Amino acid sequence: MRLFGLRDNNWLLTIVIALLVPALAQDNAKSEYQFNDSHLHLTNYIQEGTDIHQFVTLMGNTVGRVAIFGIPLQQQWSFRIDADRAPTYYLNSDAHLYYYSFTDAWIAMAYRSLPNEQQARLDPMITGFNPTDMYAADHIRRVLQTFPGVFSGIGEFTIHKEFVSAKVDGDAASLQDPALDRILDFAAEAGLVVIIHNDIDVPFAKEGSAPAYLEQMKTVVKRHSNATIIWAHTGVGRVVRPIKDHAANLGVILRDPAFRHVYFDISWDEVAKYIVSSPEATMIMASLIERYPDRFLFGTDEVAPSSESTYFRVFQRYQPLWNSLSHDASEKIRKTNYERVFDDARHRVRAWESLHLPTKGQ
């Protein structure tokens, strides 16, 4: 057999097959997957979690790509408060939470332990910084320089969050803190996607009152128009419920060109419970997504999932929403918006790293 003028080309065929078969298998898997996950915590509030190799197995052909991150806060185990009852969640104890920067190194090393084809399915995020610290942006820069080729964004990090903010040791985070501006400025410079948790209101707010943090949040993100920002959970929480005009308030942001860099994720089972609570609620959200299909991403917000049943439950709970969307809008929120946003981030962050990493001999 002759190929490219060579007498014996079995070796060449072997190489071609070795290159093509994995690519074809990846394309087939990509065509079969049901969603990308924009919001996954690989570790929990005591920095324990799912082995990353096990997690990739859980993804299977159901999930295409995942933005993975730890949790930037560690729940303190205070013997004085909890004795031998070791807390594993922030609602298990009255002891403080504190920022745990090692989470970024842990995520990076776990990611690097994977083969290249599995790394390609994950987008690690930097979370281990204190958003009240003017040095937080410097931490993010050092992480990129220490682990080049790994991270695509920052977050999920928290400013205002029901029950959590009051437990964090030290200063309370604020949307009006210049430290946050430094973080967002650097994210824009380096091309990092930003996933930020900020409740739109305070718990148990008075009916009919203006959301406590809506205007502050709009002011912050508006002045950082060069950063790609994902507002986690559309600003709602366990008891911070969608206000009567929640969809209308989101619509104001979505139709304003000054916020074209702002996206919303609908991650978390607590968010799903509101959206699928009634046919009317589902249709309100479906209508909003249909008007702005390029601006929403699906995420699970699962924390250290250990089985398919736990990992896929949020996606399955959203079935009434998927049924209410057109094929195009459903594809965008479940798949292609993620790919567009995170592919752009990968390209921009790698370009920043190539300019700012020290060369050998320096």
Q: Tell me if residue 28 falls in helix, strand or coil.
A: helix
- pLDDT at residue 8 above 80? no
The pair of structure tokens assigned to 37 is 């996950």
pLDDT at residue 1 in the model: 35
The pair of structure tokens assigned to 229 is 């920002």
The pair of structure tokens assigned to 234 is 């559309």
pLDDT at residue 136 in the model: 98
Report the alpha-carbon angle 115-116-119, nearest 5.
90
> Regarding the domain delimited by 38-356, which CATH topology (the fold level of the hierarchy) does it fall under?
TIM Barrel (3.20.20)
Query: By the 8 A CB rule, do 43 and 343 touch?
Result: no
Helix H or strand E segment including 20: helix 10-32
121: closest CA among 47, 61, 195?
61
User: Which residues fall within 8 angstroms of residue 105, CB to CB, at 6 or more apart?
Assistant: 146, 147
Domain boundaries, the chain: 38-356
pLDDT at residue 359 in the model: 64
In the block, residue with structure tokens 């900020």 = 198
Local confidence band at 30 (pLDDT 50, 70, 90 cut-offs): low
- pLDDT at residue 3 above 90? no
10 Å CB burial of residue 262 (0-12, 13-18, 19+) is buried
- The tens digit of pLDDT for each residue in 224-278 reads 999 999 999 999 998 888 877 999 999 999 999 999 999 999 999 999 999 999 9
User: Which residues fall within 8 angstroms of residue 349, CB to CB, at 6 or more apart?
Assistant: 144, 151, 152, 153, 190, 191, 192
Q: How many CB atoms lie within 10 A of CB 53?
A: 12
Helix H or strand E segment including 273: helix 269-275
Report the alpha-carbon angle 262-193-151, nearest 5.
170
| Residues 136, 179: Cα–Cα separation, whole Å | 7
- The tens digit of pLDDT for each residue in 177-227 reads 999 999 999 999 999 999 999 999 998 888 778 899 999 999 999 999 999
pTM of structure: 0.90
| Residues 160, 213: Cα–Cα separation, whole Å | 8
DSSP string covering 147-188: STTT--EEEEEESS-TTTGGGBSSSPP-TT-HHHHHHHHHHH
Is the omega angle on the peptide bond into residue 156 within 30 degrees of 0, that is, cis?
yes
- pLDDT at residue 94 above 90? yes
**CA 98, 102, 107, 110 torsion-angle sign:** negative
- Strands 73-75 and 97-99, by their bridges, are antiparallel
The pair of structure tokens assigned to 115 is 């083969």
